[in-house]
Structure 1
Amino acid sequence: MMLPSFFMGGFECSTHRRDDGRRLDLLRSSRHDDLALEDYRLLVRHGIRAARDGLRWYLIEPAPGRYDWTSAVPMVRAAKAAGVTVVWDLCHYGWPDDIDIWSPEFVERFAAFSAAAAGMIREESGAPGWFCPVNEISYWAWAGAHVGMMNPAVTGRAGELKRQLVRAAIAAIDAIRRTQPDARFLFAEPAIHVDGGSGPLEHREAAENYRLSQFEAYDMLTGRMAPELGGTPEHLDVVGINFYPDNQWYLGGSTIPLGHHAYKPFRRMLRETFERYGRPVVVSETGAEGTARPAWLHYVAAEVRAALAEGVPVEAICLYPVLDCQGWQNERVCPVGLLSEADDGGTRVADPAFAAELAYQQTILPKPVAANDAALPSAAVGRIA
C-alpha cells in the first residue's frame, strides 16, 4: 500500500464562486481550518491515517507572486502532529480573483503557486508531498462552462475549460517535479455509467459516447488526446475515481438505482479504469447521505474487494466528505460524513452506524505494510509509462 491506511478521510475544500458571485469556503464553514488537529486525531481514532485536504489558493496568493501561508501552515503542521498523510488539493474549483482563467497567466500562476506550495509542505512536513493538482477537471468543465452553475459561470465552453484545466495540471506537475521528483500525484475524476436503454441505435451510441467522455481528462493528461497540451503517460501517477449513488443514469432520463439490471457493478468500472491506464487506482471520493451512509460503504467496499480479487490494484477508499458540511446552494448541513458538524465547543461525534460499518470493513480490507516493507513496486509508479 502506498498510504498508511486503506481508508482516507476527505475534507470538503471547495472554494469556488457560485453563479451568483458568492465565494464558498467549505474549510471555513465546516471549521476544519480551525479544528484541523482535532479532526485529524479523530480520523486516527477511527483507524484512518490518510486524508484528502486542500490549500486555498485564493487566500494564499493575495497578489501576483506574493504568498501568505498563514491559512495553510497550521494545517500542514497539524497533519504531521497527528501522523496523517495528506493528499493536498491545490485547486479545488477556486482561484484568485485577479486572474482570468482563460488566459495563459492562469496556467503560469498556478504552476508557480504549486511549486511554492510543494516547497512549503516539504519544509514543514519533512516528507515528499502528495498532491491533487486540479480537482475533478471533468465535473468542473461541466458545472462551470456547460451549465454555468459555478465559476467561470458560462455556457458552451466546457471543452475549452477542460483543456485549460489540463494545461494547468500538467504545468503544476512539471513545476513540482523540477525540485521534488519524488512527489506523488493523485487525480480525482467522476466515474459514470450512462445507459441508452432500449432506444434507437443513435440514442444508444450517444449514451456510450457520453459515458466515454469520463476518460477525456485522463486521456489528455497522458497525451492520448489533444497531445498539443503537453500530456505524457508520466503525468498520470495514481488514478482517482469518484463514485456516488447518482453516478449512473439513463441518457436524458432518471438515475439508475442500485440493483437494477442496467446498473453497472462498480468492480467493472474499477477494472475498466485500470485496464485503460495501467495505473494504481484510488476511490478518491465516495459517500451517501443520512441513513444510506453505511449501506453505501458496504456496497462500495464489497465491490473493491471483488476488484482486488480480480487483480485490480485499488490502493484506498476515501470517505468524502468525512465531515458533515453545508451544501453549496444553501445553508443546510448535509449529514454525509463520518463525523458531525462541530458544536460550539468544537466537538464532533461519529455517526454510530457509519462508524460500525467502517470498523467492520477495516477488518477485511488490506492493511498497511510496515515502514521497512515499503519498497513496493508502487513506490516508483510515477515513472512507469
Structure 2
Amino acid sequence: MHAPSLFDSFFMGGFECSTHRRQDGRRLDLIEGTAHHRWAREDYAALRRQGLRTVRDGLRWHLIETVPGHYDWSSFLPQLRAAEGTGTQVIWDLCHYGWPDDLDIWRPPFVERFARFAAATARIVREESDRIPFYSPLNEMSFWAWAGGEVAYFAPLGTGRGDELKHQLIRASIAAIEAIRAVDPRARFVQVDPVIHVVPRGSRNSEQEDAERYRLSQFQAWDMLAGMQWPGLGGRPEYLDILGVNYYDNNQWFMGGGTLWRGDPLYRPFSGILAEVYQRYRRPMLVAETGAEGEQRADWLRYIGEQVHLALQRGVPLEGICLYPILDYPGWTDDRHCQAGLFGFADATGQRPVHAPLADELRHQQTLFAAMAEQLARQA
C-alpha cells in the first residue's frame, strides 16, 4: 500500500479562483466573489482548524500584469504572506482560465508572456518562502480547450478550435515549467485535468468506438505534455510531475448526452479510473478537485474516501484529496449561491459558517486515513 508523503495534509481545501470572461464579456473573479481576497488569513486559519494544512489557491494574472512586463503583486502578496503566517502549504494556480486583456491567447506572445509571468511569480514566492513550491501552471487544459475553443462556453469563445487551443495551452505550460525551474529548481508541478467515463447508448460497434474515442480524449493533454502525442509541441516525460485528477458526480455520461449517475450498473467505480490513470503514466497523483452541492456533500466525500482507500490498497500512489471548492461561491453564469463548500459566505469579520454534515464526514475520513498511515508506519 502506498504511504502518502508529498503534502502537509492528506485532505486539502481548494479555493475557487476562476478569472475567465463569460460569453457576455463579463470577467469573473471568484477570489473576490467569495471575499477570499479580503479574508485569506482567516480562511487559511479556519481550514487549519479543520485539519486542512494544504490548499489549492490561485493568482489573478489579469490584475498582476495590466501593463506588459510590469507586475503589481498587491493582489497576490496578501495571500502569499497569509499562507506563510498561518503555516499553510499552497499549490498555486498560475492561470485559472483568465489572462490579461491585451493578450491574444491564440498568438505566440501568449506563451512568451505566460512564461515570463511564471518566472516572476517563482521569484516572488522564493523571496517570501523557504518552502518547496508547488504550482499548477494552467488549470484543466482539456476542459478549457473544450469550453473555450470548441463550444464557446467562455473565453476565448472559439468554436471548432479545441485542438488548436489545447496545443497552445500545452506550449504555454511547458514554457512556464522551464521558466520556473530556471528560477527555482526545487519547484514541483501538479498538472490538473478532469477524469471521465463515457459509455455508448446502443450496442452497435460504431457507437462503442465513438464512446471509447471520446473517453480516451481525457488523456490528450497529459500525453502531449509527456511527448506521447504531438511530440512537436515539445513535450517530455519530465513535464508530468504530479497528476491532479478532478472528479465530480457528473463526470460520467452516455455518449450523446445524459449523465451516468452513481448506482447505475454501467457506472465505473472511481478507484478503477484512478488505477487506469496510474497504469498509463506511473506518476504520483492527487485528487485535485472533488465535491458536491447541498445535502449531497457528506455522502459524496464518503464515496470518494472509500474509493481512494481502495486505490491506495492496490498500490496507486495517491497523495491527497482536495475538497473543491472549499467555500460556497456565486455561480459562474447566474451568481446563484452555490452551496458546495465546507464553509459558507463570510460575515463582516471574516467568519464563515461551517456545513456540519460535511465537517463531520471529513473528521471521520481523517480518522480512517490516519489509522491507515499508522498501520503503514508500523509495517515500515
Same-fold call, TM cutoff 0.5: yes
**Where does residue 156 of structure 1 map in the other structure?**
160
8 Å contact kept, 1:5–1:368 = no
**Where does residue 299 of structure 2 map in the other structure?**
295
1:235 maps to a residue whose letter is Y
**Where does residue 101 of structure 2 map in the other structure?**
97
TM-superposition CA deviations, 1:104-135 (whole Å, max 9, x none): 10000000000100110111112221100000
**Where does residue 381 of structure 1 map in the other structure?**
none
Post-superposition offset of 1:333: 1.1
Is 1:20 the counterpart of 2:24 in the alignment?
Answer: yes
**Where does residue 257 of structure 1 map in the other structure?**
261
Q: 1:369 to 1:62 in 2, by over 3 A?
A: farther
Q: 2:110 aligns with which of 101, 106, 116?
A: 106
Moved over 4 A (4+): 366-370
The within-5 A match list for 1:1-385 is 1-366=5-370
Specify the SS of the correspondent of 2:190: strand
Specify the SS of the correspondent of 2:75: coil
CA RMSD for the aligned pairs?
1.5
Larger deviation: 122-131 or 279-288?
122-131
2:135 maps to a residue whose letter is F
Q: Distance in 1 between matches of 2:12 and 2:113?
A: 30
Specify the SS of the correspondent of 1:70: helix
Post-superposition offset of 1:369: 8.6
Larger deviation: 192-201 or 33-42?
192-201
1:107 maps to a residue whose letter is V
Specify the SS of the correspondent of 2:243: strand
TM-superposition CA deviations, 1:194-225 (whole Å, max 9, x none): 00133311011000000000000000000000
Q: Distance in 1 between matches of 2:152 and 2:297?
A: 30
Post-superposition offset of 1:347: 1.5
Q: Distance in 1 between matches of 2:178 and 2:121?
A: 14
2:43 maps to a residue whose letter is D
Q: Which residues of structure 2 form unaligned runs of 5+?
A: none
Q: 1:25 to 1:171 in 2, by over 3 A?
A: same
TM-superposition CA deviations, 1:263-308 (whole Å, max 9, x none): 0000000000011000001000000000000000000010000000
Q: Distance in 1 between matches of 2:371 and 2:138?
A: 29
8 Å contact kept, 1:6–1:368 = no
Post-superposition offset of 1:154: 1.6
Identity of aligned residues (%): 53
Specify the SS of the correspondent of 1:185: strand
Specify the SS of the correspondent of 2:74: coil
2:289 maps to a residue whose letter is E
**Where does residue 379 of structure 1 map in the other structure?**
none
Specify the SS of the correspondent of 2:325: coil
1:159 maps to a residue whose letter is D
Q: Distance in 1 between matches of 2:257 and 2:219?
A: 22
Q: Distance in 1 between matches of 2:373 and 2:291?
A: 26
Specify the SS of the correspondent of 1:189: strand
Specify the SS of the correspondent of 1:338: coil
Q: Which residues of structure 1 form unaligned runs of 5+?
A: 377-385
1:273 maps to a residue whose letter is V
Normalization by structure 1: what TM-score? 0.95
| Aligned residue-pair number | 372
